[in-house]
Amino acid sequence: MTRRVLIAGGGTGGHLMPALSIASALAESSDIEPVLVGATRGVEARLLPTRPFRYHLLPAEPIYRRTWWKNVRWPFVAASLLKQVRALFAKEQPVAVLGTGGYASAPVVWWASRLGIPTAILPMADEPIRTQVRTDDGWLDFQEYFVHLRQVPEVREVRFEGDLEPTLQVVEAIEAADVVVIGPSNPIVSIGPIRALAGTDEALAARRDTVVAVSPIVGGQALKGPADRMMVELGHEPSVVGVARLYAPIARALVIDPLDAHLADAVAAEGIEPVVVESVMSSPGIAAELVRRTLAAVLPE
């Protein structure tokens, strides 16, 4: 009997390419059928018809910030979206749901959790945790800094406000996983809140030999967002060497792009093993090789 797994993600290549790579890997199993779910307005609407997988496109939209008046449509968008998500689950009857981010990911993963279907996303904590940055004008919520002020003010300090206790499921996942992969997100404001949770760094350090990180800095620049500039403003080197210093206490290996191969020895000098492989996921083949090399860096022979 074929088991279907929904893989929801899209909007940008950064969400879609991992979804396609996961689908390719799952398709190698004779009894698993990956079914992709994206949004009608994302890049997946153009790319999925060219791939050998069944797929669904949902009328998902973002929350508009600059053109805020468009949000008046959201009650109608949400009603239509929920109707189609329910129909999707009734048709596909998935045994599991994976989310890789993007407009379509959240409603699909949310509905799976409502139905008790296993999902691959765990909230890091049960209570809200706010990321705040200190600028010359005082403390700001991260959303104010990132969206409204467009990351213009210099960041002097970062803090995380709330009950910094991880969920039991997160602790168990860190302890039980064969491998922990730290994705190429901003190490300060994306990975930082998770590391700020009580006991998280200690749990990762205790199993450091099976933890691998992927650098978000390529050629001295962040592929997306203010990670490189934020690292400079907070006194870190905006390079794979700076990333290595941040992750060396908790990770055995750091994946770096060939553009940074000349810094491999400097990365190793920080006490973390460099793994040089193309890390800009510009095609499913490159993404699949990135996954393979990332896992191989810390998996036993």
Question: Are 186 and 291 part of one and the same domain?
Answer: yes
Q: Show Cβ contacts of residue 29 under 8 Å, excluding neighbours closer than 6 positions.
A: none
pLDDT tens-place string over residues 215-233: 999 999 998 889 999 999 9
Whole-number pLDDT of residue 164: 93
Domain hosting 254: range is 166-296
Q: How far is CA 15 from CA 28, 32, 60, 203, in A?
A: 21, 21, 15, 28
Domain-located, residue 212: yes
Question: Are 186 and 97 part of one and the same domain?
Answer: no
Q: Show Cβ contacts of residue 43 under 8 Å, excluding neighbours closer than 6 positions.
A: 10, 11, 12, 13, 16
C-alpha 216 chain-centroid distance: 11
Say if strands 138-141 and 211-214 run parallel, antiparallel, or are unpaired: unpaired
Q: Which of 46-55, 117-126, 284-293 has the lowest mean pLDDT?
A: 117-126
The total of structural domains in the chain comes to 2
Which phi-psi region, left, alpha or beta, contains residue 199 (left: φ > 0; alpha: ψ -120 to 50)? Answer: left
Cα pseudo-dihedral 225, 212, 232, 154, rounded to 10: 40
**Helix (H), strand (E) at residue 279:** none
Q: Is the pLDDT of residue 14 over 80?
A: no
Q: What are phi and psi of 66, to 5 degrees?
A: -75, -45
- DSSP letter string over 173-202? HHHH-S-EEE-SS-TTTTSHHHHTSTTHHH
pLDDT tens-place string over residues 128-146: 889 999 999 999 999 899 8
**pTM value?**
0.74
CATH of the domain at 265: 3.40.50.10680
Q: Is the pLDDT of residue 65 over 70?
A: no
